[in-house]
Structure 1
């Protein structure tokens, strides 16, 4: 079966996690992606160089080619020093994509943008964690991956537009704006209604409980409150004046989750989450990085890819999108840039 993007040529010159992740998504669905690494330093997180079998390099560059790329390209993922206007002059029908930290203009233009800066400036860090303690940075290059996905989405839209116009496009993605879009809209909320939402303010029906060795997050919307209470033997909460009515319950979530905590402290987190989900209750386990590969949730959904290169099997994250008519290509390692 042909990939949805088969026949499109992509020059991945980005050298960054964001750009190379965008290129990976294009390659997953059949585009002919050529990896060109300039070695220029970027202001956002650097990607792989396509010469190793390191996990990051494989994740970002599996299925891409090295060597002299064919021309003209349909898409160019710009390197740090590339001039989009110059590339558009060379290839007027190409989509030229520039992913930066804080953009080419504005008060923060040219700022270095490692992940911790993007998370801090977006408001994500200060929104996470417990009131009175340090903000939580989290893990991974989340803003970069989100910026790469944003570029990918715009590329697909611009390719559709190009069918009608025959014209290329210049696409600019600022990782800082993408990171802010990932966060809760507290700044906008303050602008439109004056609400000063602070970390720790409990205004959503959710909480965390510590099961045996791992935290579990539970979202208890009003249509599932009774189900949860019956599941855990907390039927008295249905008539407890602190929890019986939704407006009052909203003010007493800490007390309710303290009762839940007493019931689940010795529960296996995977079993507990599966039981909740089977009842239609939204729940998720908080994994350590070292635990993700063993996640039952991901394994049951066939998330992991296993690719053999040079006789060695590598386990990699699966494709983010699964489309029935145009499924992602399953690379066998022979086209890997480092192979």
Structure 2
């Protein structure tokens, strides 16, 4: 099978989720990725994965070879102790990738940057949670994965330049800046027109209801409001002064969603979402992590990838994007066997 990155050799020295996710994307699409696992290349503060038997390690590093490449690599993903500039001087044709928390300059240069720090510093946490209460930490390592994908994208661009010039590059990705770039637009609103957006403001037509214990999220534009009311036998809401006009609904969304909740408490969540989608109402079931494996949509798309390691078979997430001519290769157990 032809892969997009055949012949590309990568040395993943990062020891972090961001760096190893970048290496995973390169590996999935055909690069030969060598994973450095020594203690000098582990950054636990940045989510480093040092345990070779965890599910996270399987997700990030399956298919990578252990150790150092036998010859000069095309890409080096630096570890926390590496000097990116020195690597660049010694290997001018190599793409040297440095993913850090706050970069090498500025007041926060050198700060430790676990996920909670990145979410707090980017404004992400202050936008989550209930008004009047403490900021809410979002689960997962979203800032780290975003930084890893940003590094992957820049590597692809720099490879095009290298093909023309023969010269490598020093690519620097600062996770705090990546996190700030993907945050809610509240900061921009404040800069441009002084809008002071607060957590919990109910001026958007969105809400959640429980259907047999599962949350369903809805976003109801004004032109779809009558259809929803009629489908749930809430016709009286069309003349209720709290809901009849869009500008009034804006101030009474909690009251309206309370009425919806009474109607859908025993609805099947998937059937309810299907009905809403059929009325062109934006809706989705909020799946628990334990429910994703049973998703009919992901199964029909062939998203999950089974891989056998020794006597055990694991099911892993698929690649985040698809290419028709050079698809992602099937995962193989290289990193977890002697090489």
Q: How does the TM-score come out when normalised to structure 2?
A: 0.91
State how far apart, in whole Å, the 1-side matches of 2:209 and 2:266 are: 11
Q: Structure 1: give runs of 5+ residues left out of the alignment.
A: none
Matches within 5 A, 1:239-250: 239-250=239-250
State how far apart, in whole Å, the 2-side matches of 1:160 and 1:221 are: 44
Q: Residue 308 of structure 1 corresponds to which residue in structure 2? A: 308
Are the structure 2 counterparts of residues 223 and 39 from structure 1 closer, same or farther at C-alpha, using a change threshold of 3 Å? farther
Please say if residues 13 and 36 of structure 2, whose CA atoms lie closer than 8 Å, have aligned partners that are also in contact. Answer: yes
Aligned pair 1:159/2:145, yes or no? no
Q: Residue 60 of structure 2 corresponds to which residue in structure 1? A: 60
Please say if residues 232 and 260 of structure 1, whose CA atoms lie closer than 8 Å, have aligned partners that are also in contact. Answer: yes
Please say if residues 47 and 57 of structure 1, whose CA atoms lie closer than 8 Å, have aligned partners that are also in contact. Answer: no
Are the structure 2 counterparts of residues 164 and 241 from structure 1 closer, same or farther at C-alpha, using a change threshold of 3 Å? farther
Please say if residues 44 and 101 of structure 1, whose CA atoms lie closer than 8 Å, have aligned partners that are also in contact. Answer: no
Are the structure 2 counterparts of residues 81 and 253 from structure 1 closer, same or farther at C-alpha, using a change threshold of 3 Å? same
State how far apart, in whole Å, the 1-side matches of 2:320 and 2:137 are: 23
Please say if residues 189 and 195 of structure 1, whose CA atoms lie closer than 8 Å, have aligned partners that are also in contact. Answer: yes
Q: CA deviation at 1:42?
A: 2.4
State how far apart, in whole Å, the 1-side matches of 2:82 and 2:136 are: 35
Q: CA deviation at 1:44?
A: 4.2
Deviates more, 1:139-148 or 1:11-20: 139-148
Are the structure 2 counterparts of residues 230 and 61 from structure 1 closer, same or farther at C-alpha, using a change threshold of 3 Å? same
Q: CA deviation at 1:278?
A: 4.2
Aligned pair 1:214/2:214, yes or no? yes
Please say if residues 35 and 64 of structure 1, whose CA atoms lie closer than 8 Å, have aligned partners that are also in contact. Answer: yes
Deviates more, 1:34-43 or 1:165-174: 34-43
Deviates more, 1:227-236 or 1:215-224: 227-236
Render the CA deviation track for 1:217-257: whole Å, top value 9, x for unaligned.
Answer: 11223343344334333344344444344333333322322
The number of equivalent residue pairs is 337
Please say if residues 45 and 114 of structure 1, whose CA atoms lie closer than 8 Å, have aligned partners that are also in contact. Answer: yes
Deviates more, 1:13-22 or 1:182-191: 182-191
Q: Residue 332 of structure 2 corresponds to which residue in structure 1? A: 332
Are the structure 2 counterparts of residues 159 and 235 from structure 1 closer, same or farther at C-alpha, using a change threshold of 3 Å? farther
Q: CA deviation at 1:315?
A: 1.3
Please say if residues 101 and 175 of structure 2, whose CA atoms lie closer than 8 Å, have aligned partners that are also in contact. Answer: yes
State how far apart, in whole Å, the 1-side matches of 2:83 and 2:319 are: 31
State how far apart, in whole Å, the 2-side matches of 1:338 and 1:147 are: 29
Q: How does the TM-score come out when normalised to structure 1?
A: 0.91
Q: CA deviation at 1:310?
A: 1.0
Please say if residues 38 and 79 of structure 1, whose CA atoms lie closer than 8 Å, have aligned partners that are also in contact. Answer: no
Q: Residue 2 of structure 2 corresponds to which residue in structure 1? A: 2
SS in structure 1 at match of 2:23? helix
Q: CA deviation at 1:108?
A: 0.8
Matches within 5 A, 1:26-175: 26-40=26-40, 41-42=42-43, 44-49=45-50, 52-175=52-175
Q: Residue 177 of structure 1 corresponds to which residue in structure 2? A: 177
Matches within 5 A, 1:197-208: 197-208=197-208
Are the structure 2 counterparts of residues 246 and 164 from structure 1 closer, same or farther at C-alpha, using a change threshold of 3 Å? farther
Render the CA deviation track for 1:249-302: whole Å, top value 9, x for unaligned.
Answer: 333322322222112112232332333334433222233333333344433433
Please say if residues 46 and 112 of structure 2, whose CA atoms lie closer than 8 Å, have aligned partners that are also in contact. Answer: no
Q: Residue 276 of structure 2 corresponds to which residue in structure 1? A: 276
Deviates more, 1:121-130 or 1:54-63: 121-130
Please say if residues 47 and 60 of structure 1, whose CA atoms lie closer than 8 Å, have aligned partners that are also in contact. Answer: no
Q: Residue 257 of structure 2 corresponds to which residue in structure 1? A: 257
State how far apart, in whole Å, the 2-side matches of 1:205 and 1:325 are: 41
State how far apart, in whole Å, the 1-side matches of 2:264 and 2:166 are: 60
Please say if residues 13 and 77 of structure 2, whose CA atoms lie closer than 8 Å, have aligned partners that are also in contact. Answer: yes
State how far apart, in whole Å, the 2-side matches of 1:52 and 1:38 are: 12
Are the structure 2 counterparts of residues 247 and 81 from structure 1 closer, same or farther at C-alpha, using a change threshold of 3 Å? same
Q: Structure 2: give runs of 5+ residues left out of the alignment.
A: none
Q: CA deviation at 1:29?
A: 0.8
Q: CA deviation at 1:9?
A: 0.8
